[in-house]
Amino acid sequence: MSVHAHPFRLPRLSWRFTAVWARNYGVWRKLAAPSLLGNLADPMIYLLGLGYGLGALVKTVEGMPYVNFLAAGMVCFSSMNTASFETLYSAFSRMHVQRTWEGIMHAPLTLDDVVLAEMMWAASKAALSGTAILLVVALFGFTTSPAALAVVPLIFLIGLTFSAMGLVVTALAPNYDFFMYYFTLFITPMALLSGVFFPLDQLPAALQIGAQLLPLAHAVALARPLMLGELPGAVLPHLAVLVAYAAGAFWLAVALTRRRLLT
């Protein structure tokens, strides 16, 4: 293999990725209603079940009703899960089982464009799911501030971050069972340690420090104040962490996918 063909070279991207995005959208549109319902059901069960159930015991957290505290976490949680499931199970099916990616590359498209399209498509689905949860939260009165609209572009960034990370796992996965390791060892612990269900200051000091390395913690730190009508602190550092995860994971996903499919 020449130096120029090294799988870890920087991605070369073009706007042709939009054709793959449109293809995925066309397939999804046929099952849009049950897909969206599935994305809404899980976080809404958490929000209403825990929000009102534990809320009857906890009453207030950081000066607000527990269900209001939980609402911002659920918006971020839903966006993370939607992006992760799309880039793991659906993208793996297209790459490995159906071999759709190989067929697409017979067109004037590179593998880099295909991976970019998968990331953008998963982020788009996450944005739709997260925004739908945000709308439901607003209808229930758990957020009333116009500043909550600023959460919408944040939801898309969360989708980009976790879709890129999911594509890394997909590039390494030999089968569907492999994804359980990712959810069990990374996604679930991160959801518990990122301020979704309880404040970070309730954690031991060492875990509080570790939580600052988790992208979901930075997403929640931005979303919760906005949904309360407040300006988040340290906006740029929080955004920088999410962008760094998204960019770094995308580069790694492209490299690992090249090594899997092209070498």
Question: Per residue in 142-167, pLDDT tens?
Answer: 888 888 899 999 999 999 999 999 99
Tokens 């906005």 locate to: 226
Residue 173 lies in a domain: yes
**pLDDT of amino acid 51:** 67
Q: Which long-range contacts (CB under 8 A, 24 or more apart) does 101-107 make?
A: 101/261, 102/261, 104/20, 104/23, 107/19
pTM over 0.85: yes
> Under 8 Å CB-to-CB from 262, ≥6 apart: which residues?
7, 111
Tokens 């925004």 locate to: 131
Residue 131 lies in a domain: yes
Residue 210 lies in a domain: yes
| Nearest-angstrom CA–CA distance, 29 and 17 | 18
Tens of pLDDT, residue by residue over 180-204, are 999 999 999 999 999 998 888 888 8
Residue 251 lies in a domain: yes
Residue 7 lies in a domain: no
Q: Which amino acid is at 137?
A: V
| Nearest-angstrom CA–CA distance, 257 and 72 | 34
Residue 8 lies in a domain: no
Phi-psi region of 12 (alpha: psi -120 to 50; beta: other; left: phi over 0): beta
**Beta carbons of 188 and 216 less than 8 angstroms apart:** no
Residue 5 lies in a domain: no
Low-confidence ranges of the chain (pLDDT < 70): 1-4, 39, 51, 54-56
How many domains are contained in the chain?
1
**Beta carbons of 238 and 218 less than 8 angstroms apart:** yes
Domain interval for residue 34: 13-261
| Nearest-angstrom CA–CA distance, 25 and 121 | 8
**pLDDT of amino acid 1:** 40
**pLDDT of amino acid 56:** 66
CA-based diameter of the chain, in Å?
64
* Closest CA relative to residue 218, chosen from 198, 204, 200: 200
Question: Which residues in 147-162 are b (16+ Cβ under 10 Å) and which e?
Answer: bbebbeebbbbbbbbb
Tokens 């031991």 locate to: 204
Residue 155 lies in a domain: yes
For the CA atoms of 29, 88, 199, 197, what is the dihedral angle to 10 degrees?
Answer: 60
